[in-house]
Chains A and B, each alone.
Chain A
Amino acid sequence: MKIKICIPTERIHNPIISESIIETGILLNIMVANIDSTYGELIADVKDSRFDKIKNALESRGAIVAILDRPIHRDEEECVECGACISVCPMNVYAFDENWSLCVDEKKCIQCGMCIKMCPHGALKLGE
């Protein structure tokens, strides 16, 4: 499953992620990381069965962990299959097939919302 890990300002100098990984032995596949001296936000993939354990480890160190379970949803009626969403998606969720139909690989979505603003037809939403 995809999770979002936020590291608050006062903890940014602690190696929270590394410590948690070492403590639990659970591997995180980090897909996006925005970290600077004031704030950190990471999106990572982790096995469903290991989630509770890594969550505890991270949260005991002051991180905030949330499950990303609202993958992108496309309203097929609204969508005109223009492809405007393709180039703004950092995870390559969208692509054309050989018939110029839009393919959506929701599993790759990290819910950044870029495509929602791009779609001229309001066809995209983060699902509930």
Chain B
Amino acid sequence: MVEKSVHEINKKIEDGSVNVVTAEEMVGIVENLGVEGAAREVDVVTTGTFGAMCSSGLMLNLGHSEPPIKIQKVWFNNVEAYSGIAAVDAYLGAAQISNTRGIQYGGAHVIEDLLRGKEINVHATSYGTDCYPRKVLDTTITLDDLNEAVLLNPRNAYQIYNAATNSSKRILNTYMGELLPNFGNITYSGAGVLSPLSNDPTYETIGTGTRIFIGGAQGYVIGNGTQHSPSSGFGTLMLKGNLKEMSPEYLRAASFTGYGTTLYMGIGIPIPILNEKIAAATAVRDEDITTNVLDYAVGSRDKPVVRMVNYAELRSGSVQIEGKDIPTSSLSSFKNARKIANELKEWVKHGTFFVSTPVERLCCEGSAKPMKQTQAVPLVKDVMSDFIVTIKKDQTVQDAAKKIWENSFNHLAVVSDTGELVGILTAWDISKAVAENIFDSVESVMTKKVLTCAPNEPVDLAARRLDRYGVSAMPVIDTQRRVLGIITSDNISKLLARRY
């Protein structure tokens, strides 16, 4: 039995005799020396990760103006921060986007600009009080002008994260990047073998108060992250660090096309090897860490699992789905994760970074709940018209015109002999056919590529599709493509009228 204390390890750091390796190096050491040997030899294992961490932000204090202002609303380079906290404190979220530049520039960019020493415009408004009479404030600041600039990240360093793919026929723009149609690619995030929480999955050494590497500075874990879901392997950390001590090498703003802004954070956590159990955990390899590839084509909370993969497969460059090799892309940088683990290793080696004992353990059971919703989401079947006029594809244009006129109904669903939906015909299509003197079968003038929806889809998703493709109605079909009804922009307007 090997037993070491954090105190002993720190003594070794002080006298320079500490043996510290990265989590990547630890894999081979445990292979060679066995768990016990490795636990005896190695004192600290360093981890690292560098990737998109949306749930990050800056807590800052501007100092008081003259005359003073109790800031009610505040913008930094036109990005709004939350300032409902005392007079001149604000919290600038990384994912907040600019009022003027949209998703090209957001909170993350303001944070990076501050770190790079750039001047930031501040605009603030208030209602004015006797003690804080000022109502409007405009100034410029740099990082040096702030009293405090503390990065306070509610949810960073996911233990693992789902990989993403797309079964649909169009490109999806997501926080997992651009997902190409028909399973065209897979994107993933996380540093696998170097990932901090994957190297300490039961949180033996990582807890509240653990000293860490954050953005190139020393910072701390201040508790579990929001949505901490340890039972499913999705542990997260809440972190803090001083922006004034950080380096833009390890903190970078990013913007995902069609999604928004986020902050790339570099995090490194040292794991003191106190016993064999911890040593064994830090020997984790890419192939031991598994995650699910989810289908992001399903715009709902529960995305179908396409398959399970491990990080070795993800990092190999391609993963098989249905016998096809699908190229993979990482969204986080393994090269930078490695750099962080190595930098932290140097700090420990050279006695500038000491390991710590958490003042409290993180809970390693339980999972994040979905949102409680008091209003049921209306489904397509709740608002669709189940009255729908159909026509056979070999009937004439004149038959169609007659049907539309008799039923004063704008859309005809065109069906095959066996009742499956094959097209759609609108009054407009008929006008066009008449104008062009085409009076053949319905089939020759109908629209063949019909947008459809399913009865159990939330109405919001159907509305988004109508809007995206600029159509006014979609047939609702079952799995056999039989027409159940139709949903029109009219149905949706009526629903909204009821809601508000």
Seen from chain A, the residues whose Cβ lies within 8 Å of a Cβ on chain B are: 80-88, 95-96, 99-101, 114, 117-118, 120-122
Q: How far is the CB of B484 from chain A (nearest CB, A)?
A: 33
Interface of A is mostly: loop
Of B208-216, B248-256, B283-291, B298-306, which stretch is located at the interface? B248-256
Contact between chains at A114 and B255 (CB < 8 Å): no
Contact of A100 among B187, B254, B327, B335 (CB under 8 A): B335
Of B178-186, B451-459, B468-476, which stretch is located at the interface? B178-186
A109 to B327: give the CA distance in the assembly, Å.
Answer: 17
User: A residues within 8 A CB of B177?
Assistant: 84, 88, 118, 120
Complex interface bits, B165-179 against A, C-beta within 8 A gives 1, otherwise 0: 000000001000110
Q: Lowest 10 A-B CB distances belong to which pairs?
A: A87-B329, A87-B185, A120-B254, A87-B327, A100-B335, A83-B330, A117-B257, A82-B333, A100-B334, A118-B178
Contact between chains at A84 and B335 (CB < 8 Å): no
User: B residues within 8 A CB of A96?
Assistant: 317
Contact between chains at A82 and B255 (CB < 8 Å): no
A114 to B401: give the CA distance in the assembly, Å.
Answer: 44
A83 to B333: give the CA distance in the assembly, Å.
Answer: 7
A95 to B178: give the CA distance in the assembly, Å.
Answer: 17
User: B residues within 8 A CB of A95?
Assistant: 317
30 contacts across the A-B interface (CB closer than 8 A): A80-B264, A80-B333, A80-B336, A81-B336, A82-B264, A82-B329, A82-B332, A82-B333, A83-B334, A86-B317, A86-B328, A86-B329, A86-B330, A87-B180, A87-B329, A88-B177, A88-B180, A95-B317, A96-B317, A99-B335, A100-B335, A101-B335, A117-B173, A118-B177, A118-B329, A120-B52, A120-B255, A120-B331, A121-B254, A122-B104
Contact between chains at A117 and B335 (CB < 8 Å): no
Contact between chains at B252 and A121 (CB < 8 Å): yes
Kindly list 16 other residue pairs between chains A and B, CB separation below 8 angstroms, not including A84-B331, A87-B185, A121-B254.
A80-B50, A81-B333, A82-B330, A83-B330, A83-B334, A86-B328, A87-B186, A100-B335, A114-B178, A117-B257, A118-B257, A120-B177, A120-B255, A120-B256, A120-B331, A121-B252
Contact of A85 among B184, B257, B329 (CB under 8 A): B329
User: A residues within 8 A CB of B332?
Assistant: 82
Contact between chains at A80 and B252 (CB < 8 Å): yes
Contact between chains at A122 and B338 (CB < 8 Å): no
Contact between chains at B187 and A84 (CB < 8 Å): yes
B262 close to A (CB within 8 Å): yes
Contact of A117 among B51, B178, B254, B328 (CB under 8 A): B178
User: B residues within 8 A CB of A121?
Assistant: 252, 254, 264
- Interface size (B, Cβ < 8 Å)? 31
A88 to B51: give the CA distance in the assembly, Å.
Answer: 19
Q: If the complex has contacts A83-B329, A87-B186, are A100 and B338 also in contact, measured as CB distance less than 8 A? A: yes
User: A residues within 8 A CB of B173?
Assistant: 117
Contact of A87 among B187, B262, B334 (CB under 8 A): B187
Contact of B335 among A81, A114, A120, A122 (CB under 8 A): A81
Complex interface bits, B321-343 against A, C-beta within 8 A gives 1, otherwise 0: 00000011111111110100000
Residue in A closest to B318 when the chains form the complex, CB atoms? A87
User: B residues within 8 A CB of A80?
Assistant: 50, 252, 264, 333, 336
User: A residues within 8 A CB of B327?
Assistant: 86-87
Complex interface bits, B146-174 against A, C-beta within 8 A gives 1, otherwise 0: 00000000000000000000000000010
User: A residues within 8 A CB of B262?
Assistant: 120
A85 to B254: give the CA distance in the assembly, Å.
Answer: 14
Q: How far is the CB of A36 from chain B (nearest CB, A)?
A: 14
User: B residues within 8 A CB of A122?
Assistant: 104, 255
Complex interface bits, B98-117 against A, C-beta within 8 A gives 1, otherwise 0: 00000010000000000000
User: A residues within 8 A CB of B331?
Assistant: 82-84, 120
Interface centre among B328, B329, B331 (most CB of A within 10 A): B329
A80 to B329: give the CA distance in the assembly, Å.
Answer: 13
Q: How far is the CB of B185 from chain A (nearest CB, A)?
A: 4
User: A residues within 8 A CB of B186?
Assistant: 87
User: A residues within 8 A CB of B52?
Assistant: 120
Q: How far is the CB of B334 from chain A (nearest CB, A)?
A: 5
Q: How far is the CB of B430 from chain A (nearest CB, A)?
A: 23
Q: How far is the CB of B330 from chain A (nearest CB, A)?
A: 4
- List which B320-376 residues lie within 8 A (CB) of chain A: 327-336, 338
A118 to B178: give the CA distance in the assembly, Å.
Answer: 6
Q: How far is the CB of B97 from chain A (nearest CB, A)?
A: 14
A82 to B186: give the CA distance in the assembly, Å.
Answer: 14
Q: How far is the CB of B181 from chain A (nearest CB, A)?
A: 11
User: A residues within 8 A CB of B338?
Assistant: 100
Residue in B closest to A120 when the chains form the complex, CB atoms? B254
A82 to B188: give the CA distance in the assembly, Å.
Answer: 10
